């Protein structure tokens, strides 16, 4: 274990599972991801689920997407933008990955296992009532890592974590969503870009993982009442 982070997010805990089953937002919200090619909607990708659709994996492989002309919808993508401190993008391929460079695994109801290039972490959702949760990150390495690899894993974990360039965006988006829900509790909204079905896909243009989770959620909650 390399270290921990903890953040409190003022939103319903299910929004965090939705977040990590939603392949649209990384390319729209996390401009950092898009600019540096770590996650783009047109990366080679796969969405997988267990047989009951509770658990899921968003699997993405960096560096095989098209150039800016192919993703003109994403205005934040600037192929010429560079970092002053290149250590943030000091990514070393490891044999155990296989091909994918990011695998985000949601285990229903409250755990996330993630590999984001060289960083390996779990995140645990700890609800505090229906409108708040603590989000506890644990960052890992391998026992035989070199000191350079440990530093690399920590740097990348910090980059993706609550004080970095990625997860702070998610916490704010969840808070804003929760504020929206509580304004008019009798109102309903429905987004159906990818239809109503639940199925595995070889692309990221679908909300299938979120529908799968709520399909299971309704089944469990109905049996309990
Ligand atoms: Fe996110």
Question: Is residue 225 very low, low, confident or very high in pLDDT (cuts 50, 70, 90)?
Answer: low
Ligand 1 geometric centre to CA of 170 (Å): 5
As a whole number, mean pLDDT of residues 126-152 equals 96
Q: How far apart are the first and last CA of the chain?
A: 40
Pairing of strands 111-116, 119-127: antiparallel
**Distances in whole angstroms, Cα of residue 143 to Cα of each of 97, 138, 140:** 17, 16, 10
**159 inside domain:** yes
Ligand 1 geometric centre to CA of 143 (Å): 29
**Distances in whole angstroms, Cα of residue 142 to Cα of each of 79, 111, 119, 129, 145:** 34, 21, 11, 36, 5
Question: Is residue 69 very low, low, confident or very high in pLDDT (cuts 50, 70, 90)?
Answer: very low
Ligand 1 geometric centre to CA of 30 (Å): 7
Pairing of strands 133-140, 56-61: unpaired
pLDDT value of residue 224: 60
Ligand 1 geometric centre to CA of 159 (Å): 12
What is the arrangement of strands in the sheet containing 102-107, beginning at the earlier edge strand? 3-9, 133-140, 119-127, 111-116, 102-107, 56-61, 44-49
Ligand 1 geometric centre to CA of 2 (Å): 22
Q: At 25, which CATH number?
A: 3.90.380.10
Question: Is residue 110 very low, low, confident or very high in pLDDT (cuts 50, 70, 90)?
Answer: very high
Q: Which long-range contacts (CB under 8 A, 24 or more apart) does 190-195 make?
A: none
Question: Is residue 85 very low, low, confident or very high in pLDDT (cuts 50, 70, 90)?
Answer: confident
**79 inside domain:** no
Ligand 1 geometric centre to CA of 28 (Å): 9
The number of folded domains in the chain is 1
**127 inside domain:** yes
Domain containing residue 197: 3-65+86-184+191-224
**77 inside domain:** no
The rounded distance, in Å, linking the Cα atoms of 78 and 27 is 13
Ligand 1 geometric centre to CA of 26 (Å): 5
Ligand 1 geometric centre to CA of 18 (Å): 10
**15 inside domain:** yes
Residue labelled with tokens 């898009």:
34
pLDDT value of residue 179: 93
**150 inside domain:** yes
Ligand 1 geometric centre to CA of 105 (Å): 13
Residues with CB under 5 A from ligand 1 (ion): 170
Pick the most confident of 25-29, 54-58, 168-172, 206-210.
54-58
């Amino acid at each position: 274990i390399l270290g921990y982070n903890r953040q409190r997010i003022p939103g319903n805990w299910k929004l965090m599972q939705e977040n990590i089953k939603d392949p649209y937002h990384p390319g729209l919200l996390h401009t950092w991801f898009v600019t540096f090619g770590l996650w783009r909607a047109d990366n080679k990708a796969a969405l997988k689920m267990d047989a009951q659709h509770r658990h899921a994996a968003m699997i993405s492989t960096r560096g095989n997407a098209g150039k800016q002309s192919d993703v003109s919808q994403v205005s934040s993508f600037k192929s010429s933008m560079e970092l002053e401190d290149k250590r943030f993008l000091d990514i070393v391929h490891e044999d155990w990955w296989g091909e994918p460079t990011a695998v985000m695994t949601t285990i229903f109801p409250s755990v996330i296992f993630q590999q984001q290039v060289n960083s390996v972490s779990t995140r645990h959702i700890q609800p505090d009532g229906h409108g708040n949760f603590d989000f506890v990150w644990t960052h890992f390495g391998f026992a035989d890592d070199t000191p350079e690899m440990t530093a690399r894993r920590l740097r990348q974990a910090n980059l993706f974590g609550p004080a970095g360039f990625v997860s702070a965006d998610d916490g704010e988006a969840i808070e804003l969503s929760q504020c929206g829900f509580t304004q008019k509790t009798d109102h309903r909204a429905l987004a159906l870009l990818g239809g109503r079905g639940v199925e595995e896909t070889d692309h990221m243009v679908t909300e299938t993982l979120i529908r799968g989770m709520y399909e299971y959620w309704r089944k469990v909650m109905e049996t309990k009442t």
